[in-house]
Amino acid sequence: MYDNLLTRFLTYVKIDTQSDASSMTVPSTQKQVDFAKRLLNDLEEIGMSDIEYNESNGFVTATLPANTDKDVPIIGFIAHMDTADFNSKNISPQIHENYDGKTILLNEEQDIRLSPDDFPNLNNYVGQTLITTDGTTLLGSDDKSGIVEIFSAMEYLIAHPEVKHGTIRVAFGPDEEIGVGADRFDVDHFKADFAYTIDGGPVGELEYESFNAAGADIHIKGKNVHPGTAKDKMINALKLAVAFDNELPQEQVPEKTEGREGFFHLVSVTGTVDEANMSYIIRDHDRDEFEAKKKLITAVADKLNTSFDEERISLKLKDQYYNMREVIEKDMRPVELADKAMRRLSIEPDIKPIRGGTDGSKISFMGLPTPNIFAGGENFHGRYEFVAVESMEKATDVLIEIAKLAAE
């Protein structure tokens, strides 16, 4: 039904578009700029209008004009161009037709296997066409799947003018994986009434609730003394780092939480006896619990500092994004429309909170309600990532059905 979907996906995932958290440029990598320019040409080829690249924020935008005289909402579809912090060079996607439910040998030389024993979600795809990695890279279904699904939906609507729809705006943005891509999104220029990020996982996912998120950077100043004469003199910054982490709730970590349970996640620790640095991310769906977590980590720093005659632990906290439910629940039209579209297609909506965030988390707070819809991929951000062609086709079906329903 979508002739170019698979070809476009295989082409796009082979293009390295990894973002770089240490970069000061927008987008963070030149390869995202190059990919954006590729998308400009491809949008023109399929017949989209108002095609633009915004050099100040790295977003590619385009319009599919309405073909109905009815007063219908302007809908936006958004996906991100970058991939996560895992090897993204020389991606070699592997196609497995009519998957038989058994272990897939991804890489014979390195004996890397994708097994349903480790990943029971594979059992949901028996008989389907899977696309996997070769075991040495990520795949990039997050979010190249979303991009090609938007392209395929637009191609279909352009080729079928008998399908009535309102104005549709599309956007492809940079740096979602490093959490800064949506910071400069131009909501006023996008001119949509509501939008969707096409950035979810398995078929049926429909999400309008995300974490509240903050980052905590901690610098610890120690005192290095020769260990032979260190008694009552040495202050080991690394030991202080351990003590700091031990003061936090040990059950509130990613590996022990699920659903709406929040956590403190120790992302990195570096240093020596003389000084050390720690980095945490703090997450909770509930705003009050989120604020309590920030107060707690501040209190831990204050408590440990009381043991010394000078400040040894300095803490910098920065909010990153908030639970988009606060915005979207005031206008549930986009959620209700997506729910109805899925049900019409015999897809059972799986409405649950995201244990993470999307660009929609920030864009919603800019005044554009933006829930998240499945793109189909599984096991994101690593060598075991995969997506079924059938899942991408269903995501495309949903986008088209949303457009149709909005115009009825």
Positions annotated as catalytic residues are 82, 176
Tokens 């997450």 belong to residue:
283
Closest CA to 372 of 210, 191, 179: 210
Check whether the bond before 120 is cis (ω within 30° of 0): no
And the tokens for 372?
């998240």
Quote the CA–CA distance of 200 and 179 in Å, as a whole number. 16
* Coil vs helix vs strand at 2: coil
Closest CA to 219 of 178, 265, 269, 264: 269
In single-letter form, the type of residue at position 180 comes to: V
Q: What torsion, rounded to 10 degrees, do the Cα atoms 191, 196, 199, 202 define?
A: -160
End-to-end CA distance of the chain: 23
Length of the chain: 408
Contact predicate 13/146, CB 8 Å: no
Quote the CA–CA distance of 117 and 26 in Å, as a whole number. 42
What are the C-alpha distances in Å from 21 to residues 29, 166, 295, 385?
Answer: 9, 38, 26, 22
What's the sign of the alpha-carbon dihedral 207, 208, 214, 215? Answer: positive
Quote the CA–CA distance of 159 and 308 in Å, as a whole number. 71
Quote the CA–CA distance of 60 and 37 in Å, as a whole number. 8
Quote the CA–CA distance of 208 and 339 in Å, as a whole number. 12
Is beta strand 275-284 parallel, antiparallel or unpaired with respect to 263-271? antiparallel
Which residues in 174-332 belong to E strands, given as ranges?
A: 194-200, 205-207, 212-221, 263-271, 275-284, 313-321
Going by the DSSP 8-state scheme, the letter that residue 295 receives in this structure is: H
Is beta strand 130-132 parallel, antiparallel or unpaired with respect to 386-388? antiparallel
* Residues sharing a CB contact under 8 Å with residue 50, sequence separation 6 or more, in sequence order: 61, 62, 63
